[in-house]
Amino acid sequence: MNNDYDGYGALLAFWLVLLPILLILALAGYIIGSFLLMKIFEKAGVEGKWRAWVPVYNMLVFAKLGDLSPWVMLGAIAVSAFLGQIPVIGWLLSLVSIAAAVMAGWRVGLKLGRDWPLLLLWLIPGVGGLIWLGVLAFGNTTWNPAIAPSPWRNTFLKDTTVWQGIPVQPEAAGSVGAAGAAPAAYPPAGYQAPAGYAPPPAPPAGTTQPAAQPAPPVTPPAAPPATPPATPPTTPPAATQPPTEPPASPEPPRP
């Protein structure tokens, strides 16, 4: 009997020592992961650093950057959390959130110049995901969303939501364009300029475009001066007046 009590006491003491260590490691992992997500969000142009520090919500933002519907990601997290406790099939359901994270992570990696083999770092227990985030966050690559469309772009998995402060990705721009969203600032994947087309050269740095000059006012032509009407003469000229009496005839010569 005393041996049983001693065994339970030792097990309880073990958990009392191990549990705080596990909580500290979990908290440290969450802080490091949120910090690395914040750096990735900054590269992607997400407004507000706080988005990376809110549990669950940060994964929804991550899904949007990975061309995956945030509601699909939320459903996957809920399925893994609540249905993962079901015996026998629970472990399969717990993989749903991991599958959604892999899909979004693959797309985010491509936009940061990293291909899918880098996701194999996730297989390292505990720290693999943090290493992957660190490579994306502190790599010398820039964010480039103009990549090939995702395989699920025509399914319910695609992202069609618009959240203030989160850039709309080119793949989602066509889906939300009808709702009045601003078009993407990037050309679609595979776009090529017409043959022979050369974009206009950019103005030198520091120059400003001249302001448009206003059009000069239009002055109507001046009206011609009015000419007074001609008045007829009262008497005809002397040359045209008839003689009043005929001239006297000459006298004949006398003998």
Q: Do the domain assignments include residue 207?
A: no
The predicted pLDDT at position 52 comes to 95
Q: How far is CA 205 from CA 174, 185, 201, 208, 209, in A?
A: 34, 22, 12, 9, 11
Q: Do the domain assignments include residue 223?
A: no
Q: Do the domain assignments include residue 103?
A: yes
**Tens digit of pLDDT per residue, the chain (255 long)?**
555 556 667 777 777 778 888 889 889 999 999 999 999 999 999 999 999 999 999 999 999 999 999 999 999 999 988 887 788 787 888 889 999 999 999 999 999 999 999 999 988 988 999 999 999 999 999 999 999 999 999 999 999 999 999 999 998 876 654 444 444 444 444 445 445 545 556 656 555 655 556 666 666 666 655 565 555 555 555 555 555 555 555 555 554
> How many angstroms separate the CA atoms of 173 and 186, rounded?
10
Q: Do the domain assignments include residue 169?
A: yes
Q: Do the domain assignments include residue 197?
A: no
The predicted pLDDT at position 65 comes to 96
| Greatest Cα pair distance in the chain | 209
Range of the domain at 110: 2-173
The predicted pLDDT at position 19 comes to 83
* Structural domains in the chain (count): 1
Q: How many CA atoms lie within 13 A of 106 on its CB side?
A: 14
Q: Do the domain assignments include residue 30?
A: yes
Q: Do the domain assignments include residue 18?
A: yes
Using the structure block, give the residue that is written with the tokens 């083999």: 117
3-class secondary structure, 46: coil
Long-range contacts of 149-156, Cβ-Cβ distance < 8 Å, separation of 24 or more: 149/189, 150/67, 150/68, 150/107, 152/67, 152/68, 152/103, 153/67, 156/69, 156/72
Q: Do the domain assignments include residue 154?
A: yes
